[in-house]
Amino acid sequence: MPDLLIDNDGAVRILTMNRPEKRNALNMALSQALLDALHEAERAPVVRAIVLTGAGPAFCAGADLSEFAALKSEHEALVERRTALTMKLHGVFSQLTKPVVTAINGAAMGGGAGLALAGDIAVMSETARLGYPEVKHGIVAAVVMVNLVRHAGRKAAFELVATGDPVDAARALALGLVNRVVAPDRLMETALQSARAMAAVAPQAMAATKSLFYRVTEMPFDEALKAGREVNRRMREFGKDKS
């Protein structure tokens, strides 16, 4: 079976991490397959939204520790290749013009928690948990920390990465890490409903909305207002072109 399953639900592309025996741990093969599939979905005109989930009881357990153990200092080129791939994967979500819904079906840990939060909308099973246990293994939740501090308050984010303790779905919702918590049997349908609603939006409007959203989060207030005004102008011109 492939490491990543790719299905379609109308205009929604469903990506399912498919290493259930490894709790969908991210080895280089799965990371590359997921990155490639996200880029392919971005290029496909028929795809308007994306849902990401995991096969089996876990969403994603994070880095595949069996592969990670081989990344010693003497294998510097391989270490750099994996690091670059991880950065590209966690960075691509905000660069896509199409919205991504993560359906967090089970444990999302470390890099898996990073993927869960990287989506634009996150729907979590009430039985799932989310955490950053890296510090307990003597390492740092380094790349995934970037998205975490943009989703949670500073105190909550620091507690998550400094203690390594996971949070349940109710706590994740209270911290603003996810949008909705639902029963396990309603998870995929809820995620698909969200994705279908966004897929129904005009692609140009969705692309402009998502691009502006991620830009203004990093801008000073006055610059963000100017960026919003420019997008308003461009979208008005686009409307004229269609008439």
Please identify every residue annotated as catalytic.
Answer: 134
- Burial class from Cβ neighbours inside 10 Å (0-12, 13-18, 19+) for residue 162 reads exposed
For residue 103, the surrounding DSSP H or E stretch is: strand 100-104
Q: Which two tokens stand for residue 196?
A: 């279908």
Q: CA-to-CA distance for 30 and 35, rounded, in angstroms?
A: 9
User: 3-state class of 113 per DSSP?
Assistant: helix
Q: CA-to-CA distance for 155 and 6, rounded, in angstroms?
A: 38
DSSP 166: -
Strands 107-109 and 58-60 turn out to be parallel
**CB atoms inside a 10 Å sphere around CB 136:** 11
Residue 180's nearest CA partner among 126, 100, 123 is 123
Q: What is the dihedral of CA 79, 144, 110, 69, to 10 degrees?
A: 10
Residue 2's nearest CA partner among 35, 29, 42 is 29
Answer yes or no: are the C-beta atoms of 58 and 23 closer than 8 Å: yes
Q: What is the dihedral of CA 160, 162, 166, 170, to 10 degrees?
A: -30
